[in-house]
Structure 1
Amino acid sequence: MTTTHFATLVVGGGIGGLATALALARSGTEVHLVEQAPEFTEIGAGLQIGPNATRALDRLGLLNELSDIAVHPRSGIIRDAVTSEVLTRLDFGPSFIARYGYPYLVAHRSDVLTLLLHACQREPRVTLENNRTVVEVVEHSDHAITRFADGDEYTADVLIGADGIKSRVRQLLDTAEPVFSGHIAHRGAIDIADVHTDAATEDVVLWMGPGIHLMQYPVRRGELYNQVAVYESPRFAAGRDDWGDADELAEMFAPACSAVKDAIEQIDTSRAWPVFDRDPMPTWTTPHTVLIGDAAHAMLQYLGQGACQALEDALVLSNSLAAHPGDAVRAFKRFEELRVPLTNKCQTVARPWGRTWHTSDPAMLALRNRVFRTRADDDYTDLDWLYADRPEELDVTGS
């Protein structure tokens, strides 16, 4: 067994972990990052990047590179999955950009991860290490201790847990298991030439139906088409263990219109992805340890904010630590003041928003569709809390 000390250690090499390492390095901090996998990879295909996240990527100096490989969708469209009716549109054009200062992009998750990885590799203050499986994290009076499967230990003055929804670092604060929503996802990207849909492939398209939804949008310069089909599993609800197969997917989408059913036939059903989140926590920190991203605030996908919030975490944490050098407790306190209320809201709003998408209640369905039909394409008022700039997150010297 060997013990090695680092001033700042990041556990987890996903989008949030790499962004945090990069942000800290840009502020002058030496960072070591460990990742369990033998290579840096992202699971899944598509990623929606709201203006709060493109703003964060711009502040990391990566937005121009991302813009070259991402897709700039014209609009977001919500359609009824059964009748195929267009219920509402959200214009992502000039008025959207004027309001928030940044565009809405869609990209392949691995493309975003690769940009962050290459930026970290170019940064002399960042060192990266793979094949490091964390088995335990312990808080000591002087530092945090990270123990690995091979018996080695790393100590750190500041330990950042960016190790996802099943975070080992989180167990310092919370040993509860992630919450299974009962929702199952099947997803993947196909060649754009193979797309069979009456929806414009330049848009982000969401089809809503009773117990189901289908999300579609282009990625990687429009070369690929990302599709995610999600349903609420009746087999799981009934206590059965045969949930999540191709037959259940087909059963749940059987009432859908032909365009949706045609899309479902093109989705890989070899793997089902159970959808989990976490209950909000009032604190993510100990004196030497802080959680970010899904380790801190895993949320259902219905706001499209999981990775976006992790990118915001990276900037705010870096700014907080830079504003309070040598005082991690104070820096963590300011980080929590700025981030906990917003991410807790994301977690708690995503759950009922998902139920609204999937409702089969006739009254709720009629009310939902009426609200959608009457809103203007450039009505962004319900999005300001997510997308508007928050200058106070850059001025982190308060309290």
Structure 2
Amino acid sequence: MAAHIIVAGGGIGGLATALALSRQGHSIDLLEQAPAFAEIGAGVQLGPNATRRLLALGLGKPLAAIAAKPDALTVRSADSNAVLARMQLGSAVEHRYRAPYYSVHRADLHALLLKAVRAQKKVALSTGARIVEARRDDDFVCVASANAHAWEGDALVGADGLWSTVRQQVIEADTPPHATGHMAWRAIIAQQALPAAMRCNGVEVWLGPKLHAVAYPVRGGRLLNVVVIAESTSTGDVRDWDQAGSLAALQSATGRSGAGLQKLLEAMPAWRTWALSDRPPLKNADQMASGRIALLGDAAHPMLPYLAQGAGMAIEDAVALAEALGGVDAAGVPQAFARYAAARWQRNARVQARAHRNGTIFHATGPVRLGRDVAMRVLGALLLDQPWLYAG
């Protein structure tokens, strides 16, 4: 028993969906609006909840080959560089949650998934396929692209990101994403280009007033990924995830941090930037599926990067969707999509809400910041560990 499913979006979520569904025997049309399958950005943290699912998709060996395995998560003051809290990762997390904690280059993860999808005979890949219209009735769905191509299938999955076109078919009177007032700067550098004292084998986090920074290794530890998020107004296209940035613009938004973090920021060869936009947490299952159309990843529930779970939740969605469609034919798609949405919406909403809360805590000022730092020093790993998330 199988169905013909159209997947809109060729990013990490869309590729994971195509792979998981094709392994269940479904035939897939995977549509990517860009002229080629590619990924922008740099680092991605993959908690055990995400890697466990990637391992289940048969990607264990190739994933280990591209990943770094951070040894610890360390939180510091952006002003003094003093350690506020620390949690062991590495083998400790892998033993506790039955899956590793990895950090990877986004392009490497995307390429790994794309190679696995291309090896599936039931997946047809199309590029330059920007969807401009989607129609459905009780028995089928049909989508048309800007280049005048059309596809018909038993179901449509919207994995087309924050500015999803497919989402409009699921949520009536939907509103566009809203600006958060936060900007992100990212940079990447070869570890060998840094002084030994600045090289990083773990996940390092710095917390400061209205900002935080994260650094961690990718590409087997050879590169260091650095991200700074600060409260700043965007002057560019809010839909552009890859704008040119600079250290001067970053410092204008954040001021100069303490010497430890400042030296790292000054060592970066170049900066890219983007504005963070968001939606409220999911309210019910109806916001993830309707009839023969389902949403996943950022199309359903964009994740602010304060819990490092954007890719993780999209991967979880992909596997859950495939599980719901296991053994299902075309007639059973609407019921399977309803099961998928019912199983996923509350967990996704919880992660969204926790990411919002973390953003407030990370960027705290005044007495709240002092209280946060005291709590971290006292409770340490108890505050950093996330059993409800990583074991899920």
Alignment-derived partner of residue 262 in structure 1: 263
Letter of the structure 2 residue corresponding to residue 297 of structure 1: H
Moved more, 205-214 or 319-328: 319-328
CA contact (8 A) 1:212 1:358 kept: yes
CA contact (8 A) 2:177 2:277 kept: yes
Q: What pairs with 1:1-399 in structure 2 (closer than 5 Å)?
A: 7-174=4-171, 175-196=174-195, 198=197, 201-233=200-232, 246-267=247-268, 271-281=272-282, 282=284, 283=286, 284-325=288-329, 326-360=331-365, 362-377=366-381, 379=382, 382-389=385-392
Residues 73/216 of structure 1: CA separation in 2 closer, same or farther (3 Å cut): same
Aligned residue pair count:
376
Q: Could you tell me how far 1:272 is from its partner in structure 2? A: 2.4
Deviations 1:326-362 (A, max 9, x none): 31121111111211000011111111211100111x2
Specify the SS of the correspondent of 1:154.
Answer: strand
Q: Could you tell me how far 1:268 is from its partner in structure 2? A: 6.0
Distance 1:259 1:198 in 2: 10
Residues 218/382 of structure 1: CA separation in 2 closer, same or farther (3 Å cut): closer
Q: Could you tell me how far 1:200 is from its partner in structure 2? A: 5.2
Q: Could you tell me how far 1:194 is from its partner in structure 2? A: 1.9
Residues 372/331 of structure 1: CA separation in 2 closer, same or farther (3 Å cut): same
CA contact (8 A) 2:247 2:265 kept: no
Provide the aligned C-alpha RMSD in A.
2.1
Letter of the structure 1 residue corresponding to residue 314 of structure 2: A
Q: Could you tell me how far 1:113 is from its partner in structure 2? A: 0.6
CA contact (8 A) 2:211 2:228 kept: yes
5+ residue gaps, structure 2: 236-244
Distance 1:279 1:136 in 2: 25
CA contact (8 A) 2:186 2:271 kept: no
Residues 286/234 of structure 1: CA separation in 2 closer, same or farther (3 Å cut): closer
TM-score, structure 2 normalization: 0.91
CA contact (8 A) 1:195 1:225 kept: no
Moved more, 291-300 or 147-156: 147-156
TM-score, structure 1 normalization: 0.89
Alignment-derived partner of residue 393 in structure 1: none
Distance 1:119 1:214 in 2: 33
5+ residue gaps, structure 1: 1-5, 237-243, 390-399
Distance 1:274 1:310 in 2: 20
Alignment-derived partner of residue 392 in structure 1: none
Residues 279/267 of structure 1: CA separation in 2 closer, same or farther (3 Å cut): farther
